Structures are given as structure tokens and as C-alpha cells.
Amino acid sequence: MISLKDRVALITGAGGGLGRSHALYLAGLGAKIVVNDPGGGVAGSGGNRAPADETVALVRQAGGEAVADYSGVETMEGASRMTAAALEAFGRLDIVVNNAGILRDASFKKQTDDDWRRVLDVHLTGSRNVVKAAWDHLCGRKYGRIVMTSSASGLYGNFGQTNYGAAKLGAIGFLNSLKEEGERYGIKVNAVAPMARSRMTESILPAELLGKLDPRFVSPVVAYLASEDCAVNGQCWAVGGGYVARVAIVEAKGLRLPADESFDAETVAANLETITDLGKARPLANLMDASAKILR
Ligand code: NAI
């Protein structure tokens, strides 16, 4: 049985959508929850305590324990308040779910510097801030589970989302190195790339699809990755509507050419097929693994 009994989870952006669903699901497995959400619109404007308060009320109605925090993840002060809220209310912190997010979609031609900066600030720097604020505590207790939220937009690309895509793939770059640092402290860091109905997607996806994409079908995966039983570290899983699959950056088997004067642009052009053939591609564990493949 996967249980989160006595675990304390901080879930950012848990005032609605996926974050609220994660809060309810993790609480259902016994976790005590810090429901973080400053409220506000999809683009990050305004603020409102009601979303976080409502999630807390729903968790409590279902018999769980939760407290609210209304800070923004984009400042270190905000992130520190969230972790302090966990310690104050529950005396510890075991799980961080970086879920907070905003959208500032625009074609690259029309994207303003502010659109770029604010999306990076919330998704990438925000996730980093929350982990940073929790890190010493997690290392000190030699246990932690961190779940990042990536997106198909970052993994594969989407028109009008260079800011969001960069931030969401940045989350994977962040976890790739953090997994190396957390291992010795019993900290595992993984990511989900979800697809679900929320205010972010309800104007983008067709209604019949949205009906099949309840956020509830993402939360069990987050709960697994947040549990002691989690058997993976440094992975990203695509999740939605009952579908779950590992996503990986892979490197082709590649081609080894003599490292001498014969190595020129013409040889590259002539070997395009072999260089780009992903038939025997595999994921690489880390920089050492990647270097070994080149140097072998
Ligand atoms: P949502 O808009 O319902 O949830 C995002 C939450 O983050 C909101 O409650 C918002 O108030 C909160 N938030 C915004 N700025 C914040 C800040 N500075 N600090 C703390 N919280 C803040 O949308 P949804 O869909 O539930 O998104 C959750 C996460 O999943 C986001 O990171 C999003 O990018 C990601 N995602 C969602 C997909 C989907 O299909 N719904 C697809 C891929 C990724």
C-alpha cells in the first residue's frame, strides 16, 4: 500500500486545477498539506486568498489536515514563508510539489520582455526558490521527494510558448543535476508533464477531450513519485486521462569517424542518416555517462 501517513507536503499553486487535485489526493493517502496559492489570474495578475482557503476546506472536509499559505514562489521570501508554514504547522517537511504556474502566451515576435521574465520567474526560478528554501531541512533529515511540473510544450514545443517552453524544459535541466546532488541525502526528484482540464487548458482543448482529462488522473502519479516507495530518480513522466509514460532525452547510437583531417563538413552531410537515426538511441544517466559515450 502506498501511504503518505505522517508525511508533510508543500504543494505550490494548489488553490485550483491540478494543485488542488494533488492536495486532495495526497491528503487522502495521509499527508498533511501546505496549500500554497496567492490566487490571481492565469497570467499571474491580482491576488486572492479564497482559492487556497477553499482547498484547505476541501481537504479538511475529507478528513485530512491542511494549512494555507498565500505567498508567491517567485521570491525567496515567499518560498521561505511556505517552508516555515510547514514547519510551524506540522514540524517537518518531506515533499515538495512544484506545481505553480502562469501563462503569458504570445508569438515570439510579439512577446514582451515582461512576458518572458514573469513566466521564467514563476515556473523556473519559483521552483528553484521553493526547493532552495526546503533543501537544508530535507538534507538534514536525509529524506525528501520533489516533484516538478514540466509540460509537453517544453519537451516538444508549442507555437506562442517560447517563454513557457523554456521554463518547463528548464525544470528538467534543474532536476537532472539536482538528482545527482540529492541522492546522498535520500532525496529523489522527478517530474510530471501533465495534461488535464483546468482554467489553463479549458479555452485551448476541445470540450470532449477536456471531459476525459480530469486532474484526478494526474494526482496518483504525483503521489507515487512523492512516496517512499518511489523507485525512480531523475525521471519525467507524461501523464493524463489515465495515460502514464516515461519521457526521456535520448542520444542516438551515433557514428564514430576518424578524428583527423578527414573529418570535415562533407563527411557530416554524407552521414546524416546514421547521425540522426534514433533506432538504437538510449537515455544517458548524467554528464559522466554522456562523456564516456563520446570518449569510449
Ligand atoms: P491553474 O492555473 O489552475 O493552476 C496554477 C496555479 O498556480 C493557480 O492556482 C495559480 O494561482 C498558481 N500560481 C500562479 N502564480 C503563482 C505564484 N507566483 N506562486 C504560487 N502559485 C502561483 O492551471 P493548472 O493546469 O492546474 O496548472 C498546474 C501546473 O501544471 C502548471 O505548472 C502548469 O504549467 C502545468 N501544466 C498543466 C497542463 C494542463 O494540461 N493543465 C499541461 C502542462 C503543464
For residue range 2-24, list pLDDT tens digits in order.
999 999 999 999 999 999 999 99
Dihedral of the alpha carbons of 161, 163, 168, 171, in degrees to the nearest 10? 170
pLDDT of residue 203: 85
Output the residue whose Cα is nearest ligand 1's atom 10.
13
Residue 31 in this model has a pLDDT that exceeds 90: yes
Cα of 257 vs centre of ligand 1, distance in Å, is: 46
C-alpha–C-alpha distance, residues 18 and 213, integer Å: 11
CB contact at 8 A, 143 and 186: yes
The 8 Å CB, 24+ separation contacts for 159-163 are: 159/107, 160/105, 160/106, 160/107, 161/103, 161/105, 162/108, 162/111, 162/116, 163/104, 163/111, 163/115, 163/116, 163/119, 163/120
Summarize pLDDT for 253-291 with one digit per residue, the tens.
999 999 999 999 999 999 999 999 999 999 999 999 999
pTM: 0.98
Query: Does ligand 1 have an atom closer than 6 angstroms to the CB of 170?
Result: no
* Residue among 70, 143, 156, 164 flagged as catalytic: 164
From CA 113, how far away is CA 211, in angstroms rounded? 35
User: For residue 201, what is its C-alpha cell?
Assistant: 487548458
pLDDT of residue 204: 85
Pocket test for ligand 1, best of 120, 198, 205, 219 (most atoms within 8 A of CB): 198
Antiparallel, parallel or unpaired: β 236-240 and 243-247: antiparallel
Task: Look at phi and psi of residue 167 and say left if phi exceeds 0, alpha if psi is from -120 to 50, else beta.
Answer: alpha
Map grid coordinates 546522498 to a residue: 184
pLDDT, tens digit, for every residue of 130-178? Answer: 999 999 999 999 999 999 999 999 999 999 999 999 999 999 999 999 9
Question: Ligand 1: distance of its center to the CA of 116 in Å?
Answer: 16
Nearest to 185 by CA among 229, 247, 143: 143
Give the distance (Å) from ligand 1 centre to CA of residue 149: 9
State residue 289's pLDDT score: 95
* Nearest C-alpha neighbor of 53 from the set 41, 72, 39, 73: 39
The count of residues in the chain is 296
Instruction: Decide: 68 and 56 in contact? Cβ < 8 Å.
Output: yes
Ligand 1 in contact with 234 (CB < 6 A)? no
Q: Whose CA is closest to atom 34 on ligand 1?
A: 101
* pLDDT of amino acid 296: 79
pLDDT at residue 235 above 90?
yes
Q: Which pLDDT tens digit goes with each residue over 80-131?
A: 999 999 999 999 999 999 999 999 999 999 999 999 999 999 999 999 999 9
Residue nearest to atom 21 of ligand 1 (CA): 13
pLDDT digits (tens, 9 = 90+) for 194-228: 999 999 999 888 999 999 999 999 999 999 999 99
How far is Cα 32 from Cα 90, in angstroms, rounded to an integer? 7
Q: What is the per-residue pLDDT for 285?
A: 95
- Give the residue, out of 10, 11, 12, 18, with the most ligand 1 atoms within 8 A of its beta carbon, to mutate for a pocket test: 18
